[in-house]
Structure 1
Amino acid sequence: MKLSTLLPVLPLLLSPTLATTTDQPTIVSALTTVNETTTKLGTSVLTWHGGILGTVPILAESTALLIQVKQGTDAASASDPLDVPGTLAVATATGALVKSVNATLGAIVDAKGKFDRLLLSPLIAVNLGLQRRATAEMSEAVIGKVPEQLRELARGLVAPIDQSFGVAVEAYRLL
């Protein structure tokens, strides 16, 4: 390999802000936990038949998700800056999370009629607002640990989550 091939990326590889960190697994673990809880919530919504008792697992998973997101924010905030391999691992975990968030929010939007019949849509609207804010805080905490030159890419990676929240919040908007 020629030295000239390495020159453009050499500063990136030698940057002190990209020193190897042990916090990458913590952030990835937090994202993985949030992803798993998001998937459980989505499954609860998808398998719900519309009865009041069926909302218990939905409320439990929704509460657990909010707690996990806040814990993920704390973990990311307490972490050291990520190196490039750590950033790639976090990006992979984030990509999986984006898919599950989009699917779960889609299921929640699709279930609006069931929530309406039980007069629970206002509660869902409030919960979506709380989840959206908590998710934005977690995203910013994680992005703050990504190397500066990769932060715009990181913001682009998480943008579909906020877009999906926007659709869901709009669907449950109280007029």
Structure 2
Amino acid sequence: MKATAGEAYPRKGANRGLSVLDLFFRIISAVGTLGSAVAVGTTDETLPFITQFFRFRARYDDIPSFTFFVIANAIVCGYLVLSLPISIYHIIRSKANNSRVILIIFDAAMLALVTAGASAAAAIVYLAHKGNTSTNWFAICQQFNSFCKRISGSLIGSFGSSVLLVLTITTAAIAISRR
């Protein structure tokens, strides 16, 4: 039985709609990862101690987990920006499935990278807020308040980008399965 023209157009329109949604998710994810990388990468706070010659300083590159966080978010942001033309191509050619499969593979790898970076930073932020008395790690967020606020806020953008990458993978998978 041959499909009529009325049945063929909704599927193409649905794939085009999923492609537009994919593009939107990619743009918002790129903004989230860029914002997170910049917020942590520019975090620096100095506190005076006894005299002005002795100071305590908190920077992101003092802790390797934050350095990994910045690098992971920058890589994912770069990937998302570079994948935008392919996403636009999917809006124009909604039946292109080979490139969607490749994007799903790379999206999954970037999802793993951004989640690993955000999780590593979240563990350190938790220690900075709560400390650990059994290992004599003291909570530093009472002293370095703006440092902790910026790092904590950037985690929201990074984990939000993780959720959007999951939605991006899901929309691409749905577009492939609708073929």
Q: TM-score, normalised by structure 1?
A: 0.40
Q: Kindly name which structure, 1 or 2, has the bigger radius of gyration based on alpha carbons.
A: 2
Q: Which has the higher contact order (CA 8 A, sep 6+)?
A: 2
Q: What TM-score, normalized to structure 2?
A: 0.39
More strand by share: 2
